Structure 1
Amino acid sequence: MGVEEVAPETKGVSVELLATVDLAGEIEGMDGRQLRMRKVTIEPGGIFGPLHDHVGQPGTVYILQGTITDHRDGVATVYGPGPGWPEDRNTTHWLENRGTVPAVEVSVDIVNKFA
């Protein structure tokens, strides 16, 4: 792993669950899955880690305030405010707020409701 791919543990992060939809009966083959929407706030200097993947948990992110640096494949990309990044089965990353104001994102993903 490169330097950019090693992340400290999560710090300075709060997560608020905004809504869920049980996908059983909505889409064939989605028993045990739910569509989830969360508001994630990363304080200045905060880390959303460690390095993690999104296998079986696809999603997308929209940044409401501030900027978030996404670290993946040895590359650091800054997003926000506005459209963020996709999170698919090929995503392995960690996040940080290098800015001076809290970064606030809305994250929508599909998760195993029993995990």
Structure 2
Amino acid sequence: MGDEHVAPETRGVAVEPLVTIDLGPEIPGMGGHRLRMRRVTIEPGGVFGPVHDHRGRPGTVYVLQGTITDHRDGVATDYGPGVGWPEDRNTLHWLENRGTVTAVEISVDVVSDE
């Protein structure tokens, strides 16, 4: 079993909602869904776990500061400032900050009101 299935629980993470928009009035068929933007801060040694998926919650992440390690499919990939990644229905992962600098990302995703 790869490390994507043994992530520690979340610690050292702060999530700040920035903007949300109701997609129902904007796009036919999107009733009950919102587009949201959040700032996620992960302190050195912090973990954004446990392992989670993005089925029904596609999005993108953009790193502003520090380095975030994304664990998926048994592979750990480091993303630094100015780099991002997609999170789609096939994403099963967890994140951590292995560095000595606080990591900050902007996360944008579509979520259901249910």
Q: Output the TM-score relative to the length of structure 2.
A: 0.96
CA distance in structure 2 between the partners assigned to 1:16 and 1:113 by the alignment: 18
Which position in structure 2 is the counterpart of 1:37? 37
CA distance in structure 2 between the partners assigned to 1:106 and 1:40 by the alignment: 6
**Structure 1 residue 3: deviation in Å?**
3.0
Which position in structure 2 is the counterpart of 1:8? 8
Which position in structure 2 is the counterpart of 1:70? 70
Q: CA RMSD in A?
A: 0.9
Identity level (%): 75
Deviations 1:66-103 (A, max 9, x none): 00000000000000111211000000000000000100
CA distance in structure 2 between the partners assigned to 1:12 and 1:27 by the alignment: 36
CA distance in structure 1 between the partners assigned to 2:12 and 2:96 by the alignment: 10
Q: Post-superposition, which runs of at least 4 consecutive aligned residues in structure 1 deviate over 4 A? A: none
Which position in structure 1 is the counterpart of 2:99? 99
Gaps in structure 2 of 5+ consecutive residues: none
Deviations 1:41-77 (A, max 9, x none): 0000000000000000000011100000000000000
Aligned residues: 114
Q: Output the TM-score relative to the length of structure 1.
A: 0.96
